[in-house]
């Protein structure tokens, strides 16, 4: 994202100068005021110039893609980021040679990257941005693995008629199993506990 910092006798003049340097229209500019500036007393003493940081307003998807790509590059990871609009948000798909490091144990690195990129993009764009990050189709593979686990537990609950508590897992993983169980006729699920101790319980119906 191309950015320039400019000064002027007031914010408007500083922004106008920055826009001229960038060669863009004002509606294409994202402005961050660094200093409001103040007039000099009697036009001579104590004045301070205004200072602004102006960047070219890009497509939200491209902004998010650039943020993640920059992070991965600085981490020395060999990866390419692709971006697409999906499910009311943005999905950033990472491909390359360092998938294991990017995914991390049980997807912990992906979750951390999501948190960082979402925060940075929201700050830059001055709006809340929903971002999902995937690497090497990890999320799809993880979802299928969780559904297989859920299927085994559902069969056990149906055959024994007794509820079963699932192992501790993330909110996202619990949601995947919730959605799977909702499609079943003879069982239902609920979350119990708080924080890290929150778990999913699958019950027989009736």
| Cα(200)–Cα(168) distance, integer angstroms | 8
The CATH number for 98's domain is 3.30.300.20
The CATH number for 188's domain is 3.30.1370.50
Confidence (pLDDT) at 56? 78
Confidence (pLDDT) at 151? 95
Q: Give Rg (Cα) of the chain.
A: 25
Tell whether 188 and 120 lie within a shared domain.
no
Quick: pLDDT tens for 45-80.
Answer: 556 888 988 887 767 888 889 899 999 999 999 999
| Cα(39)–Cα(109) distance, integer angstroms | 49
Tell whether 128 and 105 lie within a shared domain.
yes
Residue with tokens 């914010």: 11
Last residue of a domain, one of 136, 151, 184: 136
Tell whether 113 and 150 lie within a shared domain.
no
Res. 150: pLDDT tops 70: yes
Last residue of a domain, one of 136, 168, 193: 136
Tell whether 172 and 159 lie within a shared domain.
yes
Tell whether 71 and 128 lie within a shared domain.
yes
Phi and psi at residue 205, in whole multiples of 5°? -80, 145
**Average pLDDT estimate for 168-192:** 91
Confidence (pLDDT) at 176? 92
Confidence (pLDDT) at 94? 94
Instruction: Give the confidence band of 157 by pLDDT, cuts at 50, 70, 90.
Output: very high
User: What is the DSSP code (8-state) at residue 121?
Assistant: H
Which of the residue ranges 43-52, 82-91, 94-103, 170-179 would you say has the lowest mean pLDDT? 43-52
Quick: pLDDT tens for 113-139.
Answer: 999 999 988 887 777 888 999 999 998
Tell whether 132 and 67 lie within a shared domain.
yes
Residue with tokens 């929150």: 198
Which residues form the domain of 37? 3-56
Tell whether 14 and 33 lie within a shared domain.
yes
Tell whether 65 and 121 lie within a shared domain.
yes
**Average pLDDT estimate for 146-164:** 95
Number of domains composing the chain:
3
Question: Distances from the Cα of 33 to the Cαs of 11, 17, 48, 203, in angstroms?
Answer: 7, 14, 14, 56
Q: What angle do CA 31, 37, 38 make, to 5 degrees?
A: 150
Tell whether 118 and 64 lie within a shared domain.
yes
Residues constituting the chain: 206
């Amino acid at each position: 994202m191309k950015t320039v910092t400019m000064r002027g006798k007031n914010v408007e003049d500083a922004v106008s100068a920055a826009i001229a340097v960038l060669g863009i229209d004002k509606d294409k500019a994202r402005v961050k005021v660094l200093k409001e500036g103040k007039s000099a007393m009697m036009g001579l003493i104590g004045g301070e110039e205004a200072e602004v940081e102006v960047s070219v307003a890009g497509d939200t998807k491209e902004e998010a893609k650039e943020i993640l790509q920059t992070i991965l590059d600085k981490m020395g990871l060999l990866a390419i980021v692709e971006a697409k609009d999906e499910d009311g948000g943005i999905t950033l798909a990472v491909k390359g040679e360092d998938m294991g490091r990017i995914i991390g144990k049980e997807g912990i690195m992906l979750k951390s990257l999501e948190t960082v990129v979402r925060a940075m993009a929201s700050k830059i764009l001055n709006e809340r941005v929903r971002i999902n990050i995937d690497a090497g189709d990890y999320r799809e593979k993880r979802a299928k693995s969780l559904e297989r686990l859920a299927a085994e537990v559902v069969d056990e609950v149906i055959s024994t008629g007794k509820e079963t508590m699932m192992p501790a897992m993330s909110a996202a993983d619990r949601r995947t199993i919730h959605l799977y169980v909702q499609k079943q006729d003879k069982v239902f699920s609920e979350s119990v506990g708080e924080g890290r101790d929150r778990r999913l319980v699958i019950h027989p119906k009736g």
